[in-house]
Amino acid sequence: MDIENLIKDTFTAHEPDAPDSDQVLAATRQHLDRRRAAVSRPLAAGAGVVLLVLAAAGVVALNRPAPDNQVATGTGRSSGPAPVAAPAKPGIAELTMPYSLGWLPPGKADYLARRINTGGSAANPDKPVYGGEYMLTVTSGRQVLLVDVQEVKMMPVDHAAFKSGPGQPVTIAGRAGVESSHSGGRGGYEVYLTHPEGGSLYVNVAAQPGSTVPVQQLIDAGRRVAGSVTFPGKTTVTPAFGLGQLPDGLRMCAFDVEESGPSGPRTSYSVGTCSVLPPIQVRVDEADRVRGTAGKTVQGHATRFLDENGYHTLWILKAVHDAPIAVAGRGAQAELYAIADHLVLPR
């Protein structure tokens, strides 16, 4: 099932119960900021990937969902045939997640979808080591659930570490794992299930600070989310812009796509060799961050270029509606322009 229709269906079904939208957005921003600052717990185990994730975190907090521009997972209340996903914007390729979610707790869902392709072997350079992650905030009435689902390829189940208490063996949907059901603690419900390609699938369902959710509800939701995951996935997310043809030797190492407001989903890419850090960041940015001097026109858009002790940023002005795209890193100025010249911008 695709993410777009799951979020749309759960949002539509529970819209009358949703609390004040500005309060929800404020809570969501605090949640995402806090989780980004800490990086998600399993991802923090790999120092090289931590650097990559932190560098890629130039995306903004979740905003109000736009009904015709949503992305993420199935139907929150049925197991029928998957609806047909909405088409991508012309020319902008959709991005594929390595696994799909078949169920989310009912409610209004804001999401971030992330995939990291780094550290692959010479024989399999495109094989993700850390794979994909879904971070969602699901709001139903006064309850706000924080849902995190991610692949942790480098951590086998027997090395699982929990936030709230010791783990115990569990089997969910035929997959063996370890869970911590001490859900009254700060970590909520957590489970590591054996991943079909090695390592673990990690699921965490917790209550937003200030929200009251019964412990058994967290356990039931976490187990159901974990049991609904399917491999390989068919889920795709639609970015705000595409990378297009990259200069020789460079490829996409990671992406973040967040649901956003009228201007479309916020998007960030990490571009490089995927074995040498730091990568080049290509992201939707904020207009008030633009500095530097006027540069060459890119695809009909004015630009600004800034050199900060060898760290270069090229801003393409009004590239995604009124928002600029920043191409930033320690690459040569010509390399940044080469990337910018081939970006696929929204029409």
Q: Predicted confidence band at 233 (pLDDT cuts at 50, 70, 90)? A: confident
Rounded mean pLDDT, 91-109: 91
State how far the Cα of 340 lies from the Cα of 208, in Å rounded to an integer.
39
Which CATH architecture group holds 238-341?
Answer: 2-Layer Sandwich (3.30)
Higher pLDDT, 244 or 12: 244
Q: Predicted confidence band at 211 (pLDDT cuts at 50, 70, 90)? A: confident
Q: Is this structure's pTM higher than 0.75?
A: no
- With contact defined as beta carbons under 8 Å apart, do 221 and 109 qualify? no
Task: Give the model's pLDDT for residue 111.
Answer: 85
Task: Give the model's pLDDT for residue 166.
Answer: 81
Q: Predicted confidence band at 46 (pLDDT cuts at 50, 70, 90)? A: very low
Over 50: is that where the pLDDT of 165 sits? yes
Higher pLDDT, 24 or 85: 85
Over 80: is that where the pLDDT of 327 sits? yes
Task: Give the model's pLDDT for residue 251.
Answer: 87
Out of 44-48, 88-92, 263-267, 272-276, the most confident range is: 272-276
Rounded mean pLDDT, 39-56: 31
Task: Give the model's pLDDT for residue 78.
Answer: 29
CB atoms near residue 319 (< 10 Å): 24
Rounded mean pLDDT, 58-63: 24
Higher pLDDT, 285 or 67: 285
Query: Residues 345, 242, 319, CA angle at the centre, nearest 5°?
Result: 30
Out of 179-193, 199-213, 308-322, the most confident range is: 308-322
Out of 13-22, 111-120, 225-234, 251-260, the most confident range is: 225-234
Task: Give the model's pLDDT for residue 300.
Answer: 96
Which residues in the chain are classed under CATH 3.30.200.100? Answer: 238-341
**In 3D, which of 160, 134, 158, 157 has the Cα closest to residue 147?**
134
Task: Give the model's pLDDT for residue 276.
Answer: 73
Task: Give the model's pLDDT for residue 124.
Answer: 60
Mean pLDDT check: name the lowest of 118-132, 178-192, 206-220. 118-132
